[in-house]
Structure 1
Amino acid sequence: MTNKATFTKLALATLMSATALSAHAGSELTVYTALEAEDLKRYAAAFNKKHPDIKINWVRDSTGIVTAKLLAEKENPQADAVWGLAATSLLVLKGEQMLQPYKPAGVEKLSKKFYDQDATPSWVGMDAWMAAVCFNTVEAKKHNLPKPTSWEDLTKPVYQGHIVMPNPNSSGTGFLDVSSWLQMFGEENGWQYMDRLHNNIARYTHSGSKPCKLAAAGEAPIGISFAFRGAKLKKKGAPLDLVFPKEGLGWDMEASAIVKGTDNLDAAKKLMDFSISEEANRLYNKGYAVVAMPGIAKPVQYFPENAAELMIDNNFEWAASNRTEILKQWQTRYDSKSDPK
């Protein structure tokens, strides 16, 4: 009896020890993202410092590609969570019943437009990125190009062959441009506007930041891109002026969500909690003038002081529900000038 009792105690102690080791072994998450590489590096380091027990396998690509990948994996999800994808894309995923609702701790501290308004949100926002035109002053002078002040200006014959823009099928920035023009000008006038703009387009890139990078490098006088990228390149000394067209600026927000069916729900919840924290919002403000948590944002160099006022009243639900048809029509009309994939 004594030997049996001793053996039982030993087995129980071994089991408890193994359980404890397992509990402290940490978790592993596969996280899909479309964050800019330099942002991702900063955010990941901050999260890892707070949660060293959670290992993240990052899968990074442009917005359109990440969205398409998630939709293709609907029946067999490979991602546990998404940190940094356009809200319009997450609304599409929500419509497909692919997101796990979760109310992160402190979500009520965010601006209401920055999170899903269901009783238990399916997604939460991080920051807003907005359209901008990167105008290379040196190249413009060579070609005698006036500085545009409006979207309509970009359709003038003087700019023919001098404009680069993102393809909305692969770039979230490209999609926010197209969907915002359709909202600002009306659908019929919006497509007519893009017909005129297409005459002046040299190429459509598969990255939202590339048009501004090309403009900064002097490979194109004008790149339709987003403000963060333009400000970053200008700060590094590129001969760029940032133009914020007077009709208004299309925008989208970077947002996060948990993928339904994850086996690592607790770790994914910790990621979501961190994504809306004050610490995270201060990190977002290093590159974005508008962040989810009110009172955090400080002015960002080269951004307009009235950035929030320039952003259009974006109907995210409309953009998400019409996304497939918008992209299909855009591809039929304009894809002939897209870069090879």
Structure 2
Amino acid sequence: MKKLSIILFIGLFVFAFSFSGQVEAQTITVYNTMDEDAAMNLFESFEEEHGVRVEYVQLSTGEVVSRLEAESSNPQADLWTGGVGLGHIEAAQNGLTAVYDSEVREEYIPEQFRDPEGRWAGLYLGALAFSSNPDLLDYYGLEKPQSWDDLVQPEFEDMVQMAYPSTSGTAYNVLATMVQIMGEEEAFEYMHELDRSIISYTRSGFRPAQNVAMGETPVAIAYAHDLLQQQEEGYPIEITFPEEGTGYEVASISIVEGGPNPEIARKLYDHFLSREAAEEYANFFSIPTRNDMTAEDLREGAFAIEDLTVIDQDDIWSGQNRERLLDRWDEEIGG
């Protein structure tokens, strides 16, 4: 009996040790920048399928890039989901994200929406747009903006809100769009003029749209799919697109270089590129990048890129020049 008790004790000790080690190994940490509800739905389905616990931190694109740089010698996260692709490009160029030879990415994500070296992949597209609160426009005697030029007219002084380019991928996309439309010098002249129209800069790219929806700001610059969600929720906002042409995000995904759980990270990476995930993005009015998704798969009311006037966007150039352009913006405008 005594020998049996000792054997049982040893067995329970070994089981407990193995179980605790398994639990620790089966937890993954994610920095998330995409729509939180969409991400949570995908995290939950992944947890159910693989028995893996997903812990995530909600951050803007710029905040993730800053964290990855600060943690590069001791990475704290495994994966970065969502966020403007320009940030993913910068992170890849700085060696902050890992190469992964994903068969799912190669088969289903078009070349223009994935890194040729295998560090990032596009999940969905979203175009920059203007959100206007009609009640506030009426109060101030304003017409909803139809162009980038409208935003810098005297009547829009202190009437517009956007995010801070250094923390928000959305706002940096605005800056990069202006440079590609106008050329750098003229674009910075424009950004100086736009600064007079900005009532305040937010850290998050989505916050200005929230403020318009809540009746706190007349106009905001944001992504169209976020604005469509607000309309569906009943907020009385109006959406317009700049007639000169607009930029767009390629919301992407990357594995963190040196992250603690690379094998699980690769599985979750492919999960976010799956057909199930693409349908989730479409449900939130985004435009999935997967080549087996068609216009018929988009949510009713969604804006397809081909139906908009978009710029000939060079994401590689924008990613390569992000730090330099942000430094110039901070020095000339942000300060």
**TM-score scaled to structure 1, two decimals?**
0.87
Deviation at 1:50, TM superposition (A): 2.1
Partner of 1:60: 58
Checking the alignment, whether the CA contact within 8 Å between 1:160 and 1:199 is kept in structure 2 is yes
**What secondary structure does 1:170 align onto?**
coil
* Within-5 A mapping of 1:7-22: none
What corresponds to 1:81 in structure 2? 79
Asked whether the equivalents of residues 31 and 56 of structure 1 are also in contact (C-alpha less than 8 Å), the reply is yes
1:242 aligned onto 2:239 = yes
Paired residues of 1:27 and 1:55 also in contact (CA < 8 A): yes
Shift of 1:102: 0.8
> Matched residue pairs, number?
324
**Correspondence for 1:211:** 208
Is 1:163 aligned with 2:160? Answer: yes
The residue matched to 2:298 in structure 1 has which SS?
A: coil
Are 1:106 and 1:276, in contact at CA under 8 Å, matched by a contact in 2?
A: yes
Match of 2:184 in 1: 187
Aligned partners of 2:238, 2:120: CA distance in 1, in Å? Answer: 35
State whether structure 2 residue 318 is matched by structure 1 residue 319: yes
- Determine if the alignment matches structure 1 residue 173 to structure 2 residue 167: no
Q: Could you say if the C-alpha distance between residues 289 and 229 of structure 1 is closer, same or farther in structure 2, counting changes exceeding 3 Å?
A: closer
- The CA deviation at 1:16 is 10
Distance 1:76 1:112 in 2: 32
Q: CA deviation at 1:302?
A: 4.2
Q: Give the fraction of aligned pairs with identical amino acids, expressed as a percent.
A: 27
**Change over 3 Å in CA distance of 1:306–1:170 after alignment to 2:** closer
In the alignment, residue 171 of structure 1 is paired with which amino acid?
S
Q: Distance in 2 between matches of 1:292 and 1:90?
A: 16
Contact 2:177 / 2:246 at 8 angstroms: preserved in 1? yes
User: In the superposition, relative to structure 1, how do residues 20 and 189 fare at CA in structure 2: closer, same or farther (>3 Å)?
Assistant: same
Give distance in 2, aligned partners of 1:20 and 1:271.
Answer: 24
Q: Give, in whole Å, the separation in 2 of the partners of 1:43 and 1:100.
A: 22
Q: Distance in 2 between matches of 1:105 and 1:308?
A: 31
Alignment root-mean-square deviation, CA: 2.5
Deviations 1:256-279 (A, max 9, x none): 121222332211111111111111
- Listed one character per residue, the Cα deviations across residues 237-271 of structure 1 (whole Å, up to 9, x for unaligned) are 22211011111221121211212223322111111
Q: Give the alignment's TM-score, normalised by structure 2.
A: 0.88
Q: For residues 305 and 260 of structure 2, what CA distance do their matches in structure 1 show? A: 43
Cα pair distance change 1:314/1:280, threshold 3 Å? same
- 1:228 corresponds in structure 2 to 225
- Paired letter, 1:111: P
3-state SS in 1 of match to 2:250: strand
* 2:183 paired with 1:201: no
Q: Residues of 2 paired with 1:37 and 1:103: CA distance? A: 27
Return the match for 1:69 from 60, 67, 70. Answer: 67
How far apart, CA to CA, are the structure 2 residues paired with 1:310 and 1:183? 14
For residues 44-59 of structure 1, the aligned pairs below 5 Å read: 44-51=43-50, 53-59=51-57
SS in 1 for 2:162: strand
Letter in 2 for 1:81: L
Deviation at 1:323, TM superposition (A): 1.0
How has the CA–CA distance of structure 1 residues 157 and 302 changed in structure 2, closer, same or farther, with 3 Å as cutoff? farther
Deviation at 1:307, TM superposition (A): 4.9
Shift of 1:330: 1.4
**Whole-angstrom CA distance in 1 between matches of 2:54 and 2:95:** 24
Q: 1:202 and 1:15 mapped to 2: Cα distance?
A: 62
Instruction: State how far apart, in whole Å, the 1-side matches of 2:146 and 2:219 are.
Output: 12
Task: Label 1:216 to 1:317 Cα distance change in 2 as closer, same or farther (>3 A).
Answer: same
CA contact (8 A) 2:133 2:237 kept: yes
Give the distance between the partners of 2:305 and 2:83, measured in 1 at CA.
Answer: 25
> Structure 1 residues 326 and 139, CA, compared in 2 at 3 Å: closer, same or farther?
same
The unaligned stretches of length 5 or more in structure 1 are 1-9, 337-341
In the alignment, the residues of structure 1 paired with residue 221 and residue 83 of structure 2 have an alpha-carbon distance, to the nearest angstrom, of 20
